[in-house]
Amino acid sequence: MNTTNHCFPIVSPTIDQVGVIERASRFTVRSIKKDAKLAGLKMALSMIDLTTLEGMDTEGKVKQLCYKAQHLHDAVPGLPTVAAVCVYPNFVSLAKKELGNSGVKVASVATAFPSGNSSLEIKLEDVRMAVEQGADEIDMVISRGRFHRGDYQYVYDEIAAVKSACGNSRLKVILETGELGTFDKVRHASDIAIAAGADFIKTSTGKIKPAATMPVTLVMLEAIRDHYFKTGQRLGMKPAGGISNAKLALHYLIMVKETLGPEWLTNKWFRFGASSLANDVLMQIVKQQTGTYQSADYFSVD
């Protein structure tokens, strides 16, 4: 690996753990009513990455997910599509074909997802395969073992190499925050990913617990905010895993707006990695529009 030291040392601020937890909790007591709630639910729906990342994934399952991504309005007229469908690299070309001109992006995990334990050469080949098959976005995982050893230069260089291999595809860098341990480490990993060229920073693979939490997401949002204030460059954020209900999703949107501003309230800059969230958002939209709940059986299980 070609290492360059111009980026280091990256000095990250110390995080006030109590303060972050307290600030994050404040967003959960905000009340959103009627029209604003309906608009927020539709916004949340448009920010979801529908995902299937299992060893038993089949072509049929990918096709079903792509169909659902494009046909949410069958259940409720006038709804937006979701932001993207996320699959393994070997299903990218199929997803691209199934989604056609719908506007739904195809995202692909890469770099030995979810562990990240492989050589750089294999990781880059993983990325190139997905890009060549048509992936609009690449979700990579950082080498957490290297990070915990303090080999921050390696982590930086690996992200930069993956970014180069992405070409025109946007890069989401997964920190796997549940394995980092402290808010200070989450902030430092965020700063490294941002400096190395990430287009998005993302909390988790969804394969371990804890996944996304509001305090961890707040730490990452503040890293994005500080970078924006310093450089004028906007980056995206994707909490993933554990966000399964519409009420929590709305709390996240409030936190994004009050931390970064309304400009980030678009799926270009904010995503939810939570397939199960879509059905609950649909149920809540129907409730807002009709006054009654539909059964969860009315919506397909991803």
Catalytically annotated residues:
139, 202, 238
d(CA 70, CA 216): 31
d(CA 54, CA 63): 15
Residue type, 76: V
| Nearest one of 301, 271, 242 to 52, comparing CA atoms | 301
All residues at 6 or more sequence positions from 160 whose CB lies less than 8 Å from its CB, including other chains: 196, 197
With beta carbons less than 8 A apart as the criterion, state whether 292 and 48 touch.
Answer: no
